Amino acid sequence: MRKKQFTLYLENKPGVLAAVTRKLAAAKVNIEGMSVSESTDVGLVQVVPDDAATARRVLKASGIPFTSQDVALVTLRNRPGELARVTSRLAKTGVNINYIYATGCQCTADCRCYAVISAPDLDAVEKVWKAVR
């Protein structure tokens, strides 16, 4: 499934990420995926919210610099080799991955995780994913 991902450009200091996540929580926005990368001055935070419109309003109202883009959210079983299966299939069909990050869980064997995939051809990612699940 396609989702909207927001890339936030945050000051790299204690408490900044906490403030942003509190604002999203106060607006009842659930974070379905997150990746944080650091540099000297700016932290790059990629967030996949359950409600993109509300997240966008919160970020704008808070003056937080961000960009947005579509990503594919691929549901995975929580077991060894699942991500390898999907990425191998993408490679075999010639789909390039710009970047990928994944969620995890420690619940029952029926638990589902997500891989958040950015690629030039999200239609191809979704087609491959439907074929392997």
pLDDT in tens, 97-114: 999 998 877 766 667 788
Domain 71-132: assigned CATH number: 3.30.70.260
> Burial code of 1-18, b = ≥16 C-beta within 10 A, e = fewer?
eebbbbebebeeeeeebe
Please give the average per-residue pLDDT across 119-132, as a whole number: 85
pLDDT in tens, 40-94: 778 899 999 999 999 999 999 999 999 999 999 988 887 888 889 889 999 999 9
Do the domains spanning 2-70 and 71-132 agree at the CATH topology level? no
pTM (2 d.p.): 0.87
Domains of the chain, residue spans:
2-70, 71-132
| pLDDT band for position 118 (cuts 50, 70, 90) | very high
* Fold designation for 2-70: VC0802-like (3.30.2130)
Please give the average per-residue pLDDT across 5-9, as a whole number: 97
